[in-house]
């Protein structure tokens, strides 16, 4: 788990109500990281604070919408992604 700050809350899908959408400037806790199927090279974040499970196929927020609170860059190695996907 790690903390991130939302830097882009635009383009909310119509199927997701505002009550289940991220807010720019808010801090969130990432509890799961996975490769996004629709956008092959992007990572998706599952957040502790927002449950997207009722809004399938939306299950993750794009990692591009967030910046980590730590100064270090978050790097996910391919081996870690394989472990997550298995």
**Structural tokens at position 52:** 């997207």
Q: Is the pLDDT of residue 61 over 80?
A: yes
pTM above 0.95, yes or no: no
Beta bridge partners of residue 33, listed in sequence order: 45
- Tell me, rounded to whole angstroms, the distance of Cα 19 from its chain centroid: 16
Q: Is the pLDDT of residue 85 over 70?
A: no
29 CB neighbour count, 10 Å cutoff: 13
Backbone Cα Rg of the chain: 13
Q: pLDDT tens for residues 15-33?
A: 999 999 999 999 999 999 9
The CATH class that applies to domain 2-85 reads: mainly beta
Please report the pLDDT score of residue 78 as a whole number.
52
Please report the pLDDT score of residue 35 as a whole number.
87
């Amino acid at each position: 788990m790690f903390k991130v700050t939302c830097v882009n809350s635009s383009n909310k899908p119509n199927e997701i109500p505002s009550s289940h959408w991220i807010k720019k400037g808010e801090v969130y806790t990432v509890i799961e990281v996975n490769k996004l199927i629709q956008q092959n090279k992007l990572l998706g974040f599952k957040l502790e604070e927002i449950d997207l499970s009722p809004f399938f196929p939306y299950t993750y927020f794009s990692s591009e919408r967030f910046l980590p609170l730590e100064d270090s860059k978050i790097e996910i190695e391919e081996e870690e992604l394989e472990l997550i996907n298995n």
